[in-house]
Amino acid sequence: MSSIDDATADSSLTGRELLLDAAESLFYERGYQSVGMDEVRAASGLPLKRIYALFPGKEALAVAMLDGRDRRWHVSLAEHVDHYRSPSQRVLAIFDWLSDWLAGPGHRGCAWINAHGELGGTSEAIRGAAQRHKDRFRAYVTELATEAGAPRSIADAIFLLAEGCMVTAGISGSPEAAGQARRAAQLLLQHGATG
Amino acid sequence: MSSIDDATADSSLTGRELLLDAAESLFYERGYQSVGMDEVRAASGLPLKRIYALFPGKEALAVAMLDGRDRRWHVSLAEHVDHYRSPSQRVLAIFDWLSDWLAGPGHRGCAWINAHGELGGTSEAIRGAAQRHKDRFRAYVTELATEAGAPRSIADAIFLLAEGCMVTAGISGSPEAAGQARRAAQLLLQHGATG
DNA sequence: ATCGAGCGAGAACGAGCGTTCTCACCTGAC
DNA sequence: GTCAGGTGAGAACGCTCGTTCTCGCTCGAT
């Protein structure tokens, strides 16, 4: 299991880290508007005054938390992919990693998809964070697929399969979509190399 | 364009329909928690007392609106699919319909994905509505794919491609993912029929 | 010992929420 | 005309929220 999901309390963490970890757990589990700043304060152990010295408001805290999670998410994914040498195996490793990630306890799908669903219509900043994350992920998938000899159309398809499996796993509560997406990606890499 | 997106005001509508139409526009555009019942009242033209006589509360209104939208969504999709006779064209018609749907003005992705992202973690009823919708859609995709001779694995992949294109179109703001998903589905139907 | 700057805990504030209640008004039967 | 029943408009209620403010304490310098 990756370290994406468990933000464990550690007394050596800075206030900023304590705050972002607490915000991440709470916001991921219940959404943004359902979690009050007082709960964030209690979970982080920081006084409200310090929280508002670190971030100008709740929205900025949410964006910082999403961006921090994005960094760790991509590092964790790339670490897993880098266990493999074969270009096509590196593409398929995305789905293995997603399968592990989506099977984590209390998993509720992709944090950016959920954030966009809740606040994409009202917060420019949150929509931007979601777009940044998805753009980075798409670029990474395209890079791996291209190295495996796949044309752009197959790279696009593999990205969409990954997105589909994230959203489906989130709603259904089961990670089995990752295996289905992996089999489809394998087929596309095998038969679509000339497409 | 389908009639999924525009809930036009019509004096011949019942109070329940006026209410559900107003709720659908507002909730779809801005989410649930960002829209107050007073705004729903103003948009529907119904007095608050009548609203609370029709539904016991905001959550029940949201669920009824999602279920009503689900019915119209599936009718509109099936109507489009039924313009085609060839089984494989009927599968691909899903993506043509999605492309039109996702290109609509003010489109903000899949209402059920968004609702699940916002309230899936706190409301059992909303999560249930999202699951019902996705289960129905998966069953329909599987039915069409099976009639086109595709094995279960290809049907799963086509469903995931559709989900991926809905979520990607919602976040990116562009419907181009539907075309990408359509091309991938075509490839899978051609080369995967024996998989 | 004394002072003062800085900090933590939590009260306070103003706004907004979902929901319920009030009350003036309309309507239709007699 | 009169009265009862029901309806609409919006005030009211109780609560929660994000954010700011108060105040008493701590702690290091002198």
CA-based end-to-end distance of chain B: 35
Sketch the domain layout of chain B as residue ranges. Answer: 59-191
Question: Domain A7-54 carries which CATH code?
Answer: 1.10.10
Residues of chain A in contact with residue B187, where contact means CB-CB under 8 angstroms, are 153, 157, 188, 191-192, 195
Query: Tens of pLDDT along B44-87?
Result: 999 999 999 999 999 999 999 999 999 999 999 999 999 999 99
pLDDT tens, position by position, A60-111: 999 999 999 999 999 999 999 999 999 999 999 999 999 999 998 889 999 9
CB contact under 8 A, A119 and B195: no
Q: How many CB pairs under 8 A join A and B?
A: 173
The CATH T-level fold of domain B59-191 is: Tetracycline Repressor; domain 2 (1.10.357)
Domains A7-54 and A65-191 share a fold: no
Tens digits of residue pLDDT in B6-51: 444 445 678 799 999 999 999 999 999 999 999 999 999 999 999 9
Within 8 A by CB and 6+ apart from B150, the residues are B91, B158, B188, B189, B192, B193
Contact A118, B114 (CB under 8 A): yes
A167 vs B contacts (CB less than 8 Å): 113, 163-164, 166-167
Strand C lies under 7 A from the Cβ of residue A49: yes
For residue A177, give how far its alpha carbon lies from the nearest alpha carbon of chain B (Å): 8
Q: Is it the case that residue A161 has pLDDT exceeding 60?
A: yes
Task: Give the pLDDT mean for A164-176.
Answer: 96
Amino acid B193: pLDDT: 61
Residue A118 φ then ψ, to 5°? -80, -45
pLDDT of residue B191: 79
What is the fold, at CATH topology level, of the domain defined by A65-191?
A: Tetracycline Repressor; domain 2 (1.10.357)
Q: What is the mean pLDDT of chain A?
A: 92
In chain B, residues 161-190 whose CB comes closer than 8 Å to chain A: 161-168, 170-172, 177, 180-181, 183-184, 187-188
